């Protein structure tokens, strides 16, 4: 080989390797938890038999609840939302995944086993007066993936009809192995006399790998009626497809005082919603506009209207208005909410009036946020064992303020990350661009990831002292220590964030801008003193050193403590977070019998006086 060619080949390979490593440093993962459905499904739910529904049946999931409408559906495992689907036909979809009605994986111990997962079962429909000649069709649209992960080869979405013979369920349609696409229409004829009875039901169900949740299906526009044909595929409907956008240009939320300090620069020049014409002909939409008012007092802030717009068949149209500058008075630290309502007057023959209105709230509270509060995926770093991993999110202040803490939305992971630890950090600048070194203003160590089921699902870490901040730019983020067991932490990722994510990461001792689309859900908290979420204290550094030997082990391991008190409690968990063995330390060197544990990977946990100590991994052979 020519020498120059050899050098060129080596350089090309080196460049490819560097690029590969750089890309691999950031990663995304499926959600392993949905706190929205967990909170919603603690509500009461009637299972009493009701009067059978009659035709026509129509559902477009346009409501502001996250569980199915109980007047139409008898189970609540799917997630009703406005964030998981792309290019929606109407605001709201039903999402099928591998999480149960409480937002948790159906079976953590069977991560790769395929089983029936979410189901959506209708209330009974009375079809006893119909015959095959009435030409009854059920139609719906579906989309694999959306803003979640697309289904894999073995995953599927299916439709079943309930037969009057032994009340058995008959599969009439199924789809598997799909890539991300726009919504597709399906027409299913109900002609078999076994289905034309007084207690007819239909059921959608997906098959998924229960412990992974990397397959998502979105469902919308379900219609059943007589007198249809195979080509009756369109829902005659003009609908809003999204909530009104934020009136802010960059943040999704910020303190009201920070907004007032620079309202003209913080406001977006316009805000909008989107209308979709689902008719097969162009439609004139009249009397569309918006109204804005302050939530508590109901005081009107602004309004805008237009008279008429022609929207071509099956096309969307952006409804754009100039943002308003009205700023009602409020206390310095008060929470302020602007309610924005978009409306339209639909044409004759419109299938649904509910989706002719879209509501959105602009929240001004005690935090800075780029995310909208919902996660569609998880974000994590691929760390090198001997180097720390760092994340920094850039923010700005329009006037001096006080940092009180940080709120983090963690993505659950398997094995559970509850015993990993990290530091919360505030930087004045990071060593990227013109800055030669990191300028750390404040750091709080030995934090642990936790999960919460309250209204906003963020875990709040209170700083042990207030951090005065001048106006200008700062960064807030996390450090995952080297050799700590914090090999990766999952952070919520809001995939609906389309502009800059302001995020930077550091895995190889240098900062790089994030290439992942979406907002990493870490928020600084400002203003008055706050209360942190309850969390056990992590032991101080003098107790960090303890060892497990031998590793790998066979039937016994020995724990050797440093300065940890002898009466520490130990527990051993598996990869799924299940505690399999526990006991009490009675000496600084204690032998533990593990002969009854199956061969595999395990985690040792130590706790004393409410303090939790770094988790160590060991292998049993």
User: What's the whole-model pTM score?
Assistant: 0.80
How much is the pLDDT for 419?
A: 65
Biggest CA–CA distance in the chain, Å, is: 85
Is the separation of the CB atoms in 149 and 28 below 8 Å? no
Res. 432: pLDDT tops 80:
yes
**The CATH number of the domain where 546 resides is what?**
2.60.40.3580
Least confident of 23-32, 314-323, 333-342: 23-32
Question: Are 545 and 511 members of one domain?
Answer: no
pLDDT tens digits for range 576-587: 566 788 888 878
Question: Are 404 and 548 members of one domain?
Answer: no
How much is the pLDDT for 452?
A: 63
Query: In the listed set 235, 263, 292, which residue is the last one of a domain according to the structure?
Result: 235
The reply to whether 24 falls in a domain is no
Is the separation of the CB atoms in 368 and 458 below 8 Å? no
The reply to whether 285 falls in a domain is yes
Res. 105: pLDDT tops 90:
no
Q: Which helix (H) or strand (E) segment is 345 a member of?
A: strand 336-345
The reply to whether 407 falls in a domain is yes
Residue 160's alpha-carbon distances to 80, 179, 202, 431, in angstroms, are: 20, 23, 6, 58
Q: What is the mean pLDDT of residues 304-320?
A: 92
Residue 103's alpha-carbon distances to 38, 52, 56, 117, in angstroms, are: 5, 30, 32, 12
CA-CA distance, 275 to 518, in Å (whole number)? Answer: 24
Question: Are 122 and 200 members of one domain?
Answer: yes
CA-CA distance, 441 to 368, in Å (whole number)? Answer: 18
The reply to whether 532 falls in a domain is no
Question: Are 250 and 225 members of one domain?
Answer: no
pLDDT tens digits for range 325-334: 999 999 999 9
Question: Are 157 and 207 members of one domain?
Answer: yes
Question: Are 545 and 497 members of one domain?
Answer: no
How much is the pLDDT for 26?
A: 94
Please give the residue range of the domain that contains residue 589.
541-620
pLDDT band at 14 (very low <50, low <70, confident <90, very high): very low
Pairing of strands 472-480, 459-469: unpaired
Radius of gyration of the chain from its Cα atoms, rounded to whole angstroms: 28
Q: What is the mean pLDDT of residues 73-84?
A: 93
pLDDT tens digits for range 224-269: 999 999 999 989 999 999 989 999 999 999 999 999 999 899 999 9
pLDDT tens digits for range 178-197: 777 889 999 999 999 999 99
Res. 542: pLDDT tops 60:
no
Mean per-residue pLDDT over the chain, rounded: 86
The reply to whether 531 falls in a domain is no
The reply to whether 21 falls in a domain is no
Q: Provide the 3-class DSSP secondary structure of residue 136.
A: strand
Question: Are 330 and 391 members of one domain?
Answer: no
Q: State the total domains in the chain.
A: 4
Q: Which residues pair with 482 in a beta bridge?
A: none
Res. 42: pLDDT tops 60:
no
Cis check for the bond before 88: say yes or no (omega within 30 of 0): no
Q: CA 182 from chain center: how many Å?
A: 21
pLDDT tens digits for range 442-499: 999 989 888 764 445 799 999 999 999 999 999 999 999 886 555 688 999 999 998 8
Question: Are 49 and 101 members of one domain?
Answer: yes
Question: Are 391 and 520 members of one domain?
Answer: yes
The reply to whether 70 falls in a domain is yes
How much is the pLDDT for 563?
A: 63
By CB neighbour count within 10 A (0-12 exposed, 13-18 middle, 19+ buried), where does 167 fall? exposed
**The CATH number of the domain where 209 resides is what?**
2.60.120.260
CA-CA distance, 300 to 292, in Å (whole number)? Answer: 6
Bigger pLDDT: 106 vs 91: 91
The reply to whether 467 falls in a domain is yes
CA-CA distance, 142 to 236, in Å (whole number)? Answer: 17
Contacts of 450 (CB under 8 A, 6+ apart): 410, 418, 459, 533, 535
pLDDT tens digits for range 350-401: 999 999 999 999 999 999 999 999 999 999 999 887 889 999 999 999 999 9
Query: In the listed set 189, 218, 235, which residue is the last one of a domain according to the structure?
Result: 235
Q: Provide the 3-class DSSP secondary structure of residue 60.
A: coil
Number of neighbours of residue 530 by Cβ within 10 angstroms: 16
Is the separation of the CB atoms in 88 and 107 below 8 Å? no
CA-CA distance, 104 to 213, in Å (whole number)? Answer: 10
User: First-to-last CA distance in the chain?
Assistant: 48
Of 150, 209, 137, nearest to 177 (Cα)? Answer: 150
Question: Are 436 and 546 members of one domain?
Answer: no
pLDDT band at 414 (very low <50, low <70, confident <90, very high): low
DSSP state of 376: S
How much is the pLDDT for 30?
A: 87
Q: What is the mean pLDDT of residues 431-449?
A: 91
pLDDT tens digits for range 130-184: 999 999 999 999 999 999 988 888 889 999 999 998 889 999 999 987 777 889 9
Question: Are 396 and 493 members of one domain?
Answer: yes
Q: Provide the 3-class DSSP secondary structure of residue 462.
A: strand
Of 482, 406, 413, nearest to 451 (Cα)? Answer: 413
Is the separation of the CB atoms in 350 and 356 below 8 Å? yes
Question: Are 393 and 459 members of one domain?
Answer: yes
pLDDT band at 114 (very low <50, low <70, confident <90, very high): confident
Q: What is the mean pLDDT of residues 99-123?
A: 79
Contacts of 495 (CB under 8 A, 6+ apart): 83, 147, 376, 377, 517, 518
Q: Which two tokens stand for residue 109?
A: 């111990």
How much is the pLDDT for 610?
A: 61
Query: In the listed set 493, 526, 559, which residue is the last one of a domain according to the structure?
Result: 526
Contacts of 12 (CB under 8 A, 6+ apart): none
**The CATH number of the domain where 262 resides is what?**
2.60.40.10
How much is the pLDDT for 118?
A: 93
């Amino acid at each position: 080989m020519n020498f120059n060619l050899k050098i060129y080949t080596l350089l090309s390979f080196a460049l490819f390797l560097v690029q590969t490593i750089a890309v691999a440093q950031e990663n995304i993962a499926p959600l392993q938890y949905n706190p929205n459905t967990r909170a919603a499904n603690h509500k009461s739910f009637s299972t009493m038999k009701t009067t059978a529904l009659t035709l026509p049946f129509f559902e477009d999931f346009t409501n502001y609840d996250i569980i199915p409408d109980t007047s139409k559906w008898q189970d609540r495992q799917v997630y009703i939302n406005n964030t998981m689907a792309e290019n929606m036909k109407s605001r709201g979809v039903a999402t099928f995944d591998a999480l149960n009605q409480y937002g948790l994986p159906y079976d953590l111990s069977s991560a790769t086993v395929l089983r029936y997962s979410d189901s959506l079962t209708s209330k009974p429909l009375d079809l006893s007066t119909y015959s095959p000649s009435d030409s009854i069709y059920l139609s719906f649209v579906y989309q694999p993936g959306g803003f979640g992960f697309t289904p894999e080869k073995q995953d599927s979405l299916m439709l079943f009809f309930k037969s009057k013979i032994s009340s058995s369920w008959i599969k009439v349609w199924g789809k598997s192995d799909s890539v991300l696409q726009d919504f597709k229409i399906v027409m299913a004829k109900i002609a078999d006399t076994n289905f034309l009875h007084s207690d007819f039901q239909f059921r959608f169900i997906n098959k998924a790998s229960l412990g992974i949740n990397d397959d998502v299906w979105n469902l919308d526009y379900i219609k059943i009626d007589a007198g249809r044909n195979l080509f009756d595929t369109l829902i005659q409907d003009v609908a809003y497809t999204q909530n009104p956008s934020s009136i802010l240009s960059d943040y999704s939320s910020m303190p009201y005082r920070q907004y007032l300090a620079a309202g003209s620069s913080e406001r977006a020049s316009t805000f909008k919603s989107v209308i979709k014409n689902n008719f097969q002909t162009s439609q004139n939409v009249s009397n569309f506009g918006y109204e804005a008012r302050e939530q508590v007092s109901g005081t009107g802030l602004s309004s805008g209207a237009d008279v008429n717009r022609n929207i071509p068949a099956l096309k969307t149209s952006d409804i754009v208005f100039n943002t308003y500058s009205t700023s009602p008075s409020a206390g310095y630290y008060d929470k302020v909410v602007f309610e924005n309502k978009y409306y339209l007057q639909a044409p004759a023959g419109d299938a649904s009036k509910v989706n002719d209105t879209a509501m959105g709230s602009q929240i001004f509270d005690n935090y800075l946020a780029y995310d909208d509060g919902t996660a569609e995926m998880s974000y994590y770093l691929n760390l090198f064992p001997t180097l720390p991993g760092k994340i920094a999110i850039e923010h700005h202040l329009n006037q001096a303020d006080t940092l009180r803490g940080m709120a983090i939305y963690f993505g659950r992971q398997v094995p559970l990350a509850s015993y990993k630890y990290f530091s919360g950090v505030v930087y004045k600048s990071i060593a990227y661009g013109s800055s030669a070194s990191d300028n750390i203003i404040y750091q709080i160590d030995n934090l642990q990831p936790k999960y919460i089921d309250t209204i906003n699902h963020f875990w709040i870490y209170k700083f042990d002292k207030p951090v005065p901040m001048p106006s200008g730019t700062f960064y807030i983020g996390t450090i995952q220590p080297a050799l700590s067991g914090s090999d990766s932490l999952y952070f919520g990722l809001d995939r609906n964030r389309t502009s800059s994510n302001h995020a930077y990461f550091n895995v190889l001792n240098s900062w790089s801008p994030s290439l992942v689309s979406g907002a990493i859900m870490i928020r600084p908290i400002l203003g008055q003193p706050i209360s942190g979420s309850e969390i056990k204290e992590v032991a101080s550094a003098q107790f960090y050193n303890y060892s497990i030997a031998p590793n790998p082990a066979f039937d016994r391991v020995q724990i050797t403590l440093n300065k940890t008190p002898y009466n520490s409690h130990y527990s051993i968990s598996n990869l799924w977070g299940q505690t399999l063995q526990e006991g009490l330390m009675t000496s600084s060197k204690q032998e533990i019998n593990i002969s009854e544990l199956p061969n595999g990977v395990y985690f040792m946990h130590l706790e004393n006086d409410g303090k939790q100590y770094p988790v160590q991994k060991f292998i049993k052979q």
